[in-house]
Amino acid sequence: MTEHRARKRFGQNFLSDPNIIRKIIDAIRPVAGETMVEIGPGLGAMTAPLVERLGHLHVVEIDRDLIARLHETYPPERLTVHEGDALEFDFGSLGTPLRVVGNLPYNISTPLLFHLAGFAAQVRDMTFMLQKEVVMRMVAAPGSEDYGRLSVMLQYRFRMARLFDVPPGAFRPAPKVTSSIVRMVPLPAAELAAEDEALFARIVAAAFGQRRKTLRNTLREFLAEADYTALDLDPGLRGERLTVGEYVAIANHVARKQAPAGR
């Protein structure tokens, strides 16, 4: 096969360090017969060991040249290639429980994580390689500099752990940044306590919309002074001080306030 030239617009940095590849596969622990999808298989650094251990794998890939290579390398009973944009892919169509893995294209990682969060109910776990900086934001605790909208929205739905870092030298071409492996396990549906998840998302977005401002300013649209007393919350705090549970409490308080009387 001719050599593939990495395309920047598709965030292509291909894993080339066999020790790192082995470490990632060991962290995923694929077991024969599981339903798994790999996002962005690229030249197949992870695809080959995954197919070998699972027997069959789904992949979602956008690059036509790479798709042609995958078809040449694997018979359809070993690899199902879904051609197209992972941001639009219906992960719910693959069956449940689904395991999701991938060395994600970093240029679309945040919208992709939000897209995937929508399938949490069907997913068993997700193991991704992402830019370390993004992983730090995903797992950040309240009060830390990295804690923001991404932390709250993902921690609401998933238990997450940063497993280990991967240096730029493990890829061809080498990216400018360090990467990290993160595991995301959906929380049981019963633990998702926001009564109106769209409202919860709007409140979190507002609280982090202007980082320097206090809740009194950022949540003006949702909360009056009396509401802070009812919630036992200091309106002089900034959004980054609040836990996920406190955001849920705010959203549920607002939902009940907005609900018509008698409900």
Residue 50 backbone class (left: φ over 0; alpha: ψ -120 to 50; beta: rest): alpha
DSSP one-letter code for 162: E
**136 backbone dihedrals φ, ψ, rounded to 5°:** -60, -35
Establish if 60 lies at the interface with ligand SAM (CB under 6 A).
Answer: yes
Instruction: Kindly tell me which residue out of 25, 28, 45, 181 binds ligand SAM, with binding defined by CB under 6 A.
Output: 45
Which amino acid would we find at residue 73? T
Establish if 41 lies at the interface with ligand SAM (CB under 6 A).
Answer: yes
Establish if 12 lies at the interface with ligand SAM (CB under 6 A).
Answer: yes
> DSSP characters for 125-142?
EEEEEEEHHHHHHHHPPT
Residues 147-176, mask of contacts with ligand SAM (x by CB under 6 A): ------------------------------
| Closer residue to ligand SAM (CB): 103 or 127 | 103
Residue 130 Cβ vs ligand SAM, minimum distance, rounded to whole Å? 10
Cα separation, 115 vs 125, in Å, equals: 15
Cα separation, 237 vs 252, in Å, equals: 19
Residue 50: strand, helix, or coil: helix
Establish if 49 lies at the interface with ligand SAM (CB under 6 A).
Answer: no
| Closer residue to ligand SAM (CB): 34 or 63 | 63
Q: Which residues pair with 82 in a beta bridge?
A: 60
Residue 103 Cβ vs ligand SAM, minimum distance, rounded to whole Å? 3
Residues contributing to the site for ligand SAM (CB under 6 A): 10-15, 39-43, 45-46, 60-63, 66, 85-87, 103, 105, 108
